[in-house]
Structure 1
């Protein structure tokens, strides 16, 4: 239960918190962009099985690869793309926390 709450808490509450704290004048737009980081999970559709609760997404799926994470980090250096990079990295952080639970269960 803690794993579920942390994973989806980071996916949902952290983007909303970032939008409120750092983009107060555009909080709705910022929150929607940050929440759109969920779209990175489209790469799960290419996996077999599509959902495996014991699989760490980081390093397994294309949009969760280390190269992709480096690209998301590079987006932080562009003022126009920063929020998209942040959305992607928040998503990676949520999935990384999930991976820690998987490693500790083994």
Structure 2
């Protein structure tokens, strides 16, 4: 339970930190936009069960696959989509770290 709560908090705190460091003049806008990328988790609705605390989302859900992550990486090259792409990649990194922690415990 604690891992799940910390995971959700990280999905807002880490983008906030990145926004403050990398997008300083527009950090509030960048933080909101990167935080909104949590909507990528809507692909969890395609899973059965929808929520499983012991399931690694990386590779399981369509928007959490390697091809999707490659697209997010390419989107970093598009200036108008850079903040969203950064948010999506941060999201994937946080989910991957959660998978790692899940394997340890």
Please give the residue correspondences for 1:1-106 in structure 2 after superposition, counting only pairs within 5 Å. 3-4=3-4, 6-105=6-105
Equivalent residues of 1:8, 1:94 under 8 A apart = no
Q: Give structure 1 stretches of 5+ with no counterpart.
A: none
SS at match of 2:80: coil
CA distance in 2 between counterparts of 1:8 and 1:42 reads: 14
**Alpha-carbon distance, 1:2 to partner:** 5.7
CA distance in 1 between counterparts of 2:47 and 2:4 reads: 21
Equivalent residues of 1:37, 1:90 under 8 A apart = no
CA distance in 2 between counterparts of 1:58 and 1:84 reads: 19
CA RMSD of aligned residues (A): 1.5
**Structure with larger RCO (C-alpha < 8 A, sep 6+):** 1
CA distance in 2 between counterparts of 1:38 and 1:81 reads: 16
CA distance in 2 between counterparts of 1:86 and 1:63 reads: 15
Could you tell me the TM-score, scaled by structure 2's length?
A: 0.90
Could you tell me the TM-score, scaled by structure 1's length?
A: 0.90
